[in-house]
Amino acid sequence: MKKNLFFLIMLAIALITSSCSNDLDEVPTPAAGSSGQAITFKPWANKPLRAAATQAKDVTDFAVLATDTFPGAIDSVLIDGKVVIGSNAAGWTYSPLAFWPETAAVNFFAFSPTAAVGITKGATALAGQYDTIPGEPSIEYELPTVLTNQADLLVARHSGTYAAEGATGVTLNFRHALSRVLFQVKSESSMDFIVSSIKLKNVKSKATLDLNYVPKDAAAFPYPTDNATIDTVGYQVHWVPDSPTSPTVVELDANLTTTAVAGDGAWHYVVGDADALYVIPQENEASDLKNATLVGSGDPDPSSLFYIEITYKEDGAGATDRTYAVPVPAIVGDAYKSSIAFEMERQYTFQFELFGKKPIQFKGVTVSPYDTVEQEEPLRLHWAGSNIYYDSGLGHLTFADYNDKSKEQYQGVYFQWGSLIGISPVGAYTTGNTVTYQKGVEAAASAAPLWTDIPRPGTDPPGTIYDRALDSKYLTELAHDTASNIGDICKYLTELGYAPKGKRWRMPTSAEFGEASDYGNAGAASWGAVATVNADGTTAFANGMQLRKSNTPFFPASGFRTFSTGALDTVGVDGFAWSSSPSNSGSGFFLSFFSSAASPASSYYRTCGFPVRCVAE
């Protein structure tokens, strides 16, 4: 296969961007037999099979090889692994431009991102030369072994003609080239545990993918809809190890940071329900271990057979870590066999039970399409890049877009639950002395109502919308009354045009804050009270919590205003954020945290003043 390998010389991003504008002005002369129409690209179809971490709209560049057959000539290269940059909204550019042949079909091969860690040689031909066996471009890939260094890898294959796509542009349907692995554990002993490490042992780390295995223009790879038996080796794998007789094997590290598992008998993700390990699709021989084995001074399985290694302990003083080598029989359909296959564009959720006095037990593995993530949070959910704050330049409340991390440490202004009136985080709250933000803009301090008179949803007056059934969409759909300054502040700012454009923003539900184990201290080593802050909520707090799911938002330790008087409390010490979910007629659910723990389903009086972090779907 390697003799047919096309080589890609990757250009530095700085070089691409600096030379792009000049090169685009130099339009080459169309070759003989050309239509004279430049080949362009348009947004690819937004197929449903997408990773949680990589949607079509997230792609900003891809490398493309285009080959065609002119009449009377051998295959030629039209686009020689050029990097195409841009976005679905702004369009896509590359240089120099290539031209459609007048009648012949053009074969397109592409992968994204072009700077993906692990790609050693990519899909292109040597400049100025022809491939003697056309149409077999390949990718060589070396898998990063640590989760934080990994990224999704997309590939595409397409065949088009000038007549069909010359005017509209080429549509590329990108597919996932790797496998994803998730981990769930539960306690069956009513005991809380701390899981500190989980690794896939003895998996192949280097392989080559022939892009001809990617079906042309397919909505999905031609996989069976269930976990059917693999009749032909490599049919769903497609990747060939760098040395099939003695492939390089490694361990994949899921990078855990002491994940808490409650003794409630429920399944809990221990890496996160979005931060999955990526694995090169491959077949592995399952370990011949019969049961989980406590790891001692040496490796319990010195062979190159596949197993999972997990380290955990009871959550209590004096408990010590135990590390187990856990055998995982291959599951294909409902039957076990002697090897396990990781297939392209498949997701694997391994499940284990933890016990206090007996070894961990492997319970099974669920195989699902890439777009199936077993979680309440929709895959398309995006957290805003900051709490709501006041932008003096714009003259109104706003917040950062989900992909803008430059303001994620902003303290934000405060809101009572379900109120549309923003409240400055400065000083004691008094009428005539505290800045408020009404209708999204700054109001005179004298316009600040009494703390207990700030509008919010409640039970008064009887029989109104505020009396209706309490559900997760209460604020957004039932109690939205902008005339009375009551409702979903995120939805309201969107209606006013004050939110980042092009998205439907709303407050998160309580369930969307996830579980306590989803959070980790991502801020300063030492947390402490902050005495002086900006009235507009733009003070940056380095101490806070990271939610390890969706687009991993950072929540700063913004403090709050108390429910009775609006006095400031725990600024820089604790963090809070309202949800849209009511807990009863006088309280609402919210996220609360301090330096070592988070409580995503806290509940307290609606008259508390907390920041708000919006979400978009």
The whole-number mean pLDDT for each consecutive block of 10 residues of the chain, a chain of 617 residues, reads 28 28 41 73 48 54 78 64 78 87 84 77 43 60 86 84 85 83 86 91 86 60 36 58 84 83 86 79 79 71 77 89 83 50 82 86 74 38 92 96 89 96 95 94 92 80 44 73 91 92 86 87 81 95 85 91 95 95 85 92 92 90
Q: How far apart are alpha carbons 539 and 390 in whole angstroms?
A: 11
Q: Token pair for residue 16?
A: 């691409």
Residues 454, 481 within the same domain: yes
Q: What is the DSSP letter of 147?
A: G
Are residues 143 and 18 both part of a single domain? yes
Distance CA 537, CA 462 (A): 36
Residue 88 lies in a domain: yes
Q: Are residues 481 and 544 in the same domain?
A: yes
pLDDT at 104: 82
Residue 217: inside a domain, yes or no?
no
Q: What is the model's pLDDT at position 274?
A: 65
Q: Which of 346, 565, 614, 318 is nearest to 453 (CA)?
A: 565
With CA atoms as reference, report the closest residue to 152 among 181, 112, 120.
Answer: 112
Residue 375 lies in a domain: no
Q: Measuring CA to CA, how many Å separate 563 from each of 108, 415, 416?
A: 61, 11, 9
Please report the pLDDT score of residue 236 as a whole number.
62
**d(C-alpha 594, C-alpha 527), whole Å:** 9
Query: Domain for residue 374, yes or no?
Result: no
* DSSP symbol at 211: G
Residue burial 122-141, b: 16+ Cβ < 10 Å; e: rest: bbbbeeeeebeebeebbbbb
Beginning with the edge strand found earlier in the chain, give each strand of the sheet holding 154-160 in spatial order: 91-93, 75-87, 61-69, 106-112, 154-160, 175-176
- Name residue 578's beta-bridge partners: 590
Q: Which residues pair with 142 in a beta bridge?
A: 206
**Helix or strand (DSSP H, E) at 22:** helix 13-24
| Count: domains in the chain | 3
Decide if 343 contacts 236 (C-beta within 8 A).
Answer: yes
How far are the Cα atoms of 125, 372, 440, 448, 537 from residue 394, in angstroms, in the given order?
A: 50, 40, 11, 21, 14
Q: Name the residue among 178, 192, 161 with its Cα closest to residue 54.
A: 178
On whether both 484 and 566 belong to a single domain, the answer is yes
Burial 267-283 (b: 16+ CB within 10 A, else e): bbbbbbbbbbbbbbbbb
Residue 411: per-residue pLDDT: 97
Instruction: Answer whether residue 583 is part of any domain.
Output: yes
How far apart, in whole angstroms, are the C-alpha atoms of residue 496 and residue 584? 29
Spatial CA neighbour of 295 closest among 304, 308, 314, 277: 308
How many residues does this entry show for the chain? Answer: 617
Residue 218 lies inside a defined structural domain of this protein? no
| Residue 512, φ and ψ in degrees, nearest 5 | -75, -10
Return the DSSP state at 286: B
In a domain, 106, yes or no: yes
Last residue of a domain, one of 369, 395, 414: 369
Compute the half-sphere exposure of residue 419: CA atoms within 13 Å on the CB side of its CA.
26
Tokens coding 325: 């080598």
The CA distance from 83 to 538, in Å, is 38
Q: Name the pairing type of β-strands 587-594 and 239-241.
A: unpaired
Question: What's 473-540 look like in SS3?
Answer: CHHHHHCCEHHHCECCHHHHHHHHCCCCCCCCEECCCCHHHCCHHHEEECCCCCCCCCCCCCCCCCCE
Q: Which domain holds residue 141?
A: 2-176
Beta bridge mates, 383:
615
Q: What is the DSSP letter of 550?
A: T
Residues 54 and 157 reside in one and the same domain: yes
**Judgement on whether residues 547 and 467 belong to the same structural domain of the protein:** yes
Alpha-carbon distance of 48 to 175, in angstroms, equals 10
Do 348 and 335 belong together in one domain? yes
- Residues 558, 516, single domain; the answer is yes
Q: Give the CATH number for residue 344.
A: 2.60.40
Residue in 548, 549, 422 with CA at minimum distance from that of residue 489: 422
439 plus 469 within the same structural domain: yes
Pair type for strands 346-354 and 179-187: parallel
- Listed residues 345, 369, 393: the one ending a domain: 369
Q: Which helix (H) or strand (E) holds 165?
A: helix 162-165
Instruction: Check whether residue 277 and residue 231 sit in a common domain.
Output: yes
CA-nearest of 606, 601, 571 to 588 is 606
411 and 350 within one domain: no
Domain boundary (323, 339, 369) is at 369
**Residue at 216 is within a domain:** no
Query: Are 404 and 438 found together in one domain?
Result: yes
Q: Rounded to whole angstroms, how far apart are CA atoms 336 and 351?
A: 16
